[in-house]
């Protein structure tokens, strides 16, 4: 088995109590195999048993994807007739001797559809949570992955810069979100964005995960834009907060506090430091300014092929940061029914410190 990512998973399995893992279409399967499949009504399952050549079960129409792989894979193909699918899954499970074994699954990814077919193939097996075994695979990004994320940041920043002159008082959040999506695609993002952009003005900005609606921008609003691009399978996730016309002094003040908190969080990000320290550094700035109760979420989350993955910048997470770990630093202050501020950057831990991938101005800028 010459494929290095397979070797890494094999080593991880050997060190665990699991005999195998099964994966359906999603980031882990793509990371391991280099192949992308859609979640659809026809199940696709990769079966990976330690010290064996992996098996994949897939429909005939996906056969081209496995035609010229640079590594060995046992391929089990099923036709259109669903009554024949179970038998193919059984053959794949038998080829790897999976029945009666401990087969790990991804709880956040594996659907009941794929699970039922896998279980029909190995009915006496146990199916425990494999999150711990799989988390390490994508945790530390290599140079190629970091460059893809850097590309996703560049696209996202260029797209928003192109949109800023178009922002006008009276425009609906929904209009702005649509324009931003168009700019992201124009500037080179893959069509599958990491998430639908959050564009929220005034009171809606006090909801960290607001959906763009019909509310129109008004003078005096803060405008929170949380957006990202996808490049070469990797994502960016950024937030900037703008002033719509002239805004109250307190809103200028909380923007400055969040800016300082963001800088403190980024400065705390170093190899060997617990994730908790990044959260504490950012939170301390906001608490010391008297707005602690208005910072209602963790300081950041891991990014890579997904918009939310390990590691998490939470106050109780003592996991140590290591070179290659990538995550967001996104403190915020949310004043209910009034306005909100969030400033978010993307960071990768290096051997000596942290590489901040995003450099779009963080100061308050006026739009509209």
Q: pLDDT tens for residues 58-76? A: 999 999 999 989 999 999 9
What is the distance between the alpha carbons of residues 330 and 227, in angstroms, rounded to a whole number?
A: 12
**Number of other residues whose CB lies within 10 A of the CB of residue 289:** 16
Q: pLDDT tens for residues 334-348? A: 999 999 999 999 999
Complete domains list, the chain, with CATH: 4-138 (3.40.350.10), 140-367 (3.90.230.10)
pLDDT higher than threshold 60 for residue 303: yes
Instruction: For residue 347, list its beta bridge partners.
Output: 327, 356
pLDDT higher than threshold 60 for residue 163: yes
Q: pLDDT tens for residues 321-330? A: 999 999 999 9
- The DSSP code sequence of 4-45 is HHHHHHHHHHHTSS-SEEEE-SSHHHHHHHS------SS--E
pLDDT higher than threshold 80 for residue 2: no
What is the distance between the alpha carbons of residues 9 and 31, in angstroms, rounded to a whole number?
A: 11
- The DSSP code sequence of 310-343 is EEEE-TT--PBP-TT-EEEE--EEEETTTEEEE-
Average pLDDT, the chain: 96
**Number of other residues whose CB lies within 10 A of the CB of residue 3:** 18
- The conformation of residue 140, written as its DSSP 8-state character, comes to S
pLDDT higher than threshold 60 for residue 1: no
Q: 329: closest CA among 270, 289, 243, 288?
A: 270
Q: pLDDT tens for residues 313-323? A: 999 999 999 99
- Determine the straight-line distance between the first and last CA of the chain, rounded to whole angstroms: 58
Alpha helices by DSSP H, listed for the chain, are 4-14, 27-33, 85-95, 112-121, 131-139, 143-163, 173-186, 249-268, 275-288
Per-residue pLDDT band for 171 (boundaries 50, 70, 90) equals: very high
Mean pLDDT of 351-359: 97
Q: What percent of the chain has pLDDT over 70?
A: 99
User: Does the predicted TM-score (pTM) go above 0.85?
Assistant: yes
What is the distance between the alpha carbons of residues 65 and 82, in angstroms, rounded to a whole number?
A: 21
Q: pLDDT tens for residues 291-300? A: 999 999 999 9
Q: pLDDT tens for residues 129-155? A: 999 899 889 999 999 999 999 999 999
**Number of other residues whose CB lies within 10 A of the CB of residue 137:** 15
CA dihedral 207, 209, 215, 218 (to 10 degrees): 60
Q: How far is CA 348 from CA 39, 140, 256, in A?
A: 30, 9, 24
pLDDT higher than threshold 60 for residue 125: yes
Q: pLDDT tens for residues 99-119? A: 999 999 999 999 999 999 999
What is the distance between the alpha carbons of residues 218 and 360, in angstroms, rounded to a whole number?
A: 24
């Amino acid at each position: 088995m010459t494929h290095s990512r397979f070797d890494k998973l094999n080593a991880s399995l050997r060190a665990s109590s699991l005999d195998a893992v099964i994966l359906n279409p999603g980031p882990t399967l793509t990371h391991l195999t280099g192949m992308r499949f859609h979640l659809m009504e026809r199940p696709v399952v990769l079966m990976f048993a330690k010290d064996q050549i992996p098996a994949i079960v897939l429909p005939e129409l996906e056969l081209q994807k496995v035609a010229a792989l640079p590594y060995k894979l046992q391929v089990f193909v099923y036709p259109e007739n669903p009554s024949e699918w179970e038998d193919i899954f059984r053959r794949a499970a038998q080829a790897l001797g999976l029945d009666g074994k401990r087969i790990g699954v991804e709880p956040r990814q594996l659907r009941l559809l794929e699970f039922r077919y896998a279980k029909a193939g190995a009915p006496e097996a146990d199916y425990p949570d494999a999150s711990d075994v799989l988390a390490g695979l994508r945790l530390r990004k290599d140079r190629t992955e970091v460059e893809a994320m850097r590309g996703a940041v560049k696209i996202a920043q260029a797209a928003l810069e192109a949109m800023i002159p178009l922002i006008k008082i009276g425009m609906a959040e929904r209009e702005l979100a649509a324009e931003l999506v168009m700019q992201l695609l124009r500037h080179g993002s893959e069509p599958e964005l990491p998430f639908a952009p959050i564009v929220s003005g005034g009171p809606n900005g006090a909801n960290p995960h607001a959906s763009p609606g019909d509310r129109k921008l008004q003078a005096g609003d803060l405008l929170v834009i949380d957006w990202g691009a996808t490049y070469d399978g990797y994502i960016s996730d950024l937030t900037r907060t703008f002033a719509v016309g002239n805004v109250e002094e307190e809103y200028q003040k909380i923007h400055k506090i969040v800016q300082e908190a963001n800088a403190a969080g980024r400065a705390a990000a170093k190899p060997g430091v617990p994730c908790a320290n990044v959260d504490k550094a950012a939170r301390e700035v906001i608490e010391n300014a008297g707005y602690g109760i208005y910072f209602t979420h963790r300081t950041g989350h891991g990014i890579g092929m997904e918009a939310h993955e390990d590691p998490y910048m939470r106050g109780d997470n003592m996991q140590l940061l290591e070179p290659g770990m990538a995550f967001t630093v996104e403190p915020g202050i949310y004043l209910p029914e009034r306005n909100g501020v969030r400033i978010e950057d993307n960071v990768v831990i290096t051997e000596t410190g942290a590489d901040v991938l995003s450099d779009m101005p963080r100061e308050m800028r006026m739009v509209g």
